[in-house]
């Protein structure tokens, strides 16, 4: 059954990739969904997308976490706005921010908000303005594992930290046994995989460890992996592939990449451990605070939440764009696309693809900010 689920996942991701590629070349009128969810994809009805003066090619790069969502959005948008081509690479958050601050892309995706140095650098590209963060995609960071015979693994923050810091090396370690007294844990080496590229997913995963178990995770955090040991793979798809193929493996990835694999339930201190889900992520995002200034809508998530049903390892992917000083030849298409993905129709595509829509009060601020881009 697990193999069948993994095959279905591979077909789903393959369909998303193909649909994104077709959108760039054919701009056809096919209104089928990219993930097989009729209800979700039917929300992008004819007339729901305002193309305005959008035309030409938009180059974008960044977060691989949102790549599946971007592919679905691109298919719907370019089917209606036939004068626009959108090429989103999904090379990782670090690569996206670098490309944005070098003026190579119209917008970037990042699972971490711009830091002060990145904002300062953006002012060289955004004439009279700066880069700002627009929260657009939410989602849990699932901790996926491949341990034969173990279907409902529970871990907590200290145990996760020790696993990814190479302090716990066997699946039958006493700390894991204590959290899973009824499981038949094998005498099997743990193969912990982390991202080799600079990644906002890494940043958010390690922020969770820093916030909840600083005594066991003594690293500064950031987009680059800092702990010793473990094995590395590139992108969310890379670590997902390694977990699916490697007995004893464990890694962190967005829920959309974990379909068909076993995922850890996190013991947060609530009455019941919480598994990654879009509903559980939405509860966490709704509890976030806007900490950006001016038009910047960067959020701060409460990784220590003990609320029932709230999944603590949750990220928000931002679209990064200039508030002022966007290039005149790409601004109309950029605004049209961002307006669509922030719309009710655009956000309506997310849940069935394994993502969490941004809560209403926050996405309303995003829409207002997009209208003011210049």
| pLDDT of 47 higher than 80 | no
Q: For residue range 242-263, list pLDDT tens digits in order.
A: 999 999 999 999 898 998 999 9
Q: What is the mean pLDDT of residues 134-149?
A: 96
DSSP class of 81: -
* The predicted structure's pLDDT at residue 21: 34
* The predicted structure's pLDDT at residue 49: 93
Q: What is the mean pLDDT of residues 130-148?
A: 96
* The predicted structure's pLDDT at residue 65: 86
| Joined tokens for residue 237 | 């798809």
Provide the pLDDT confidence category of residue 273 given band limits of 50, 70 and 90: very high
136 within 8 A of 91, measured Cβ to Cβ? no
Judge if pTM exceeds 0.85.
no
Provide the pLDDT confidence category of residue 225 given band limits of 50, 70 and 90: very high
For all residues of the chain together, what is the average pLDDT?
87
* The predicted structure's pLDDT at residue 108: 98
CA distance 88 to 70: 8
Tell me the three state secondary structure of residue 345.
helix
* The predicted structure's pLDDT at residue 350: 92
| pLDDT of 18 higher than 70 | no
How many other CB atoms sit within 10 Å of the CB of residue 221? 18
Q: What is the mean pLDDT of residues 67-75?
A: 94
* The predicted structure's pLDDT at residue 176: 98
* The predicted structure's pLDDT at residue 138: 93
109: β partners: 62, 319
| pLDDT of 313 higher than 60 | yes
* The predicted structure's pLDDT at residue 20: 34
Angle made by CA atoms 265, 270, 274, in degrees to the nearest 5:
20
Could you tell me how far CA 26 lies from the centroid of its own chain? 27
* The predicted structure's pLDDT at residue 38: 34
* The predicted structure's pLDDT at residue 331: 97
CA distance 281 to 33: 23
Provide the pLDDT confidence category of residue 224 given band limits of 50, 70 and 90: very high
Q: For residue range 351-362, list pLDDT tens digits in order.
A: 888 789 998 999
Backbone angles phi, psi at 252, to 5 degrees: -115, 140
Q: What is the mean pLDDT of residues 99-122?
A: 96
| pLDDT of 109 higher than 80 | yes
* The predicted structure's pLDDT at residue 287: 82
Using only C-alpha atoms, what is the Rg of the chain?
A: 20
Provide the pLDDT confidence category of residue 139 given band limits of 50, 70 and 90: confident
| Joined tokens for residue 190 | 């743990």
């Amino acid at each position: 059954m697990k193999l069948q689920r993994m095959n279905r996942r591979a077909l789903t991701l393959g369909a998303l990739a193909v649909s994104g590629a077709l959108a760039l070349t054919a701009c056809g009128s096919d209104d089928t969904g990219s993930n097989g969810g009729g209800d979700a994809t039917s929300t992008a009805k004819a007339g729901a997308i305002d193309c305005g003066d959008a035309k030409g090619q938009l180059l974008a790069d960044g977060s691989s976490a949102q790549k599946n969502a971007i592919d679905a959005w691109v298919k719907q948008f370019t089917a209606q706005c036939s004068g626009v081509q959108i090429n989103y690479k999904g090379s990782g958050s670090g690569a996206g921010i670098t490309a944005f601050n070098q003026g190579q892309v119209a917008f970037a995706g990042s699972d971490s908000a711009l830091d002060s140095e990145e904002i300062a650098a953006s002012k060289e590209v955004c004439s009279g303005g700066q880069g700002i963060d627009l929260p657009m995609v939410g989602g849990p960071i699932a901790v996926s594992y491949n341990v034969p015979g173990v279907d409902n693994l529970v871990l907590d923050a200290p145990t996760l930290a020790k696993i990814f810091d190479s302090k716990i090396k066997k699946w039958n370690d006493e700390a894991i046994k204590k959290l899973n007294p009824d499981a038949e844990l094998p005498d099997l080496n743990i193969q912990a995989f982390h991202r080799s590229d600079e990644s906002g997913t890494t940043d958010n995963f390690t922020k969770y460890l820093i916030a909840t178990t600083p005594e066991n995770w003594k690293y500064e955090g950031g987009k680059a992996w800092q702990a010793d040991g473990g094995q590395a793979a590139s992108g969310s798809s890379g670590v997902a592939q390694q977990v699916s193929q490697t007995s004893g493996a464990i890694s962190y990835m967005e829920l959309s990449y974990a379909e068909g694999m076993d995922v850890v339930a996190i013991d947060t201190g609530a009455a019941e451990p919480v598994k990654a889900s879009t509903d559980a992520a939405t509860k966490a995002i709704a509890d976030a605070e806007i900490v950006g200034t001016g038009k910047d809508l960067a959020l701060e998530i409460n990784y220590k939440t003990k609320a029932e049903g709230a999944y603590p390892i949750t990220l928000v992917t931002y679209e990064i764009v200039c508030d002022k000083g966007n290039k005149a030849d790409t601004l109309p298409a950029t605004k049209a696309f961002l307006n669509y993905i922030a719309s009710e129709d655009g956000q309506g595509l997310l849940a069935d693809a394994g993502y969490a829509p941004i809560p209403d009060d926050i996405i309303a601020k995003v829409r207002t900010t997009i209208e003011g881009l210049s």
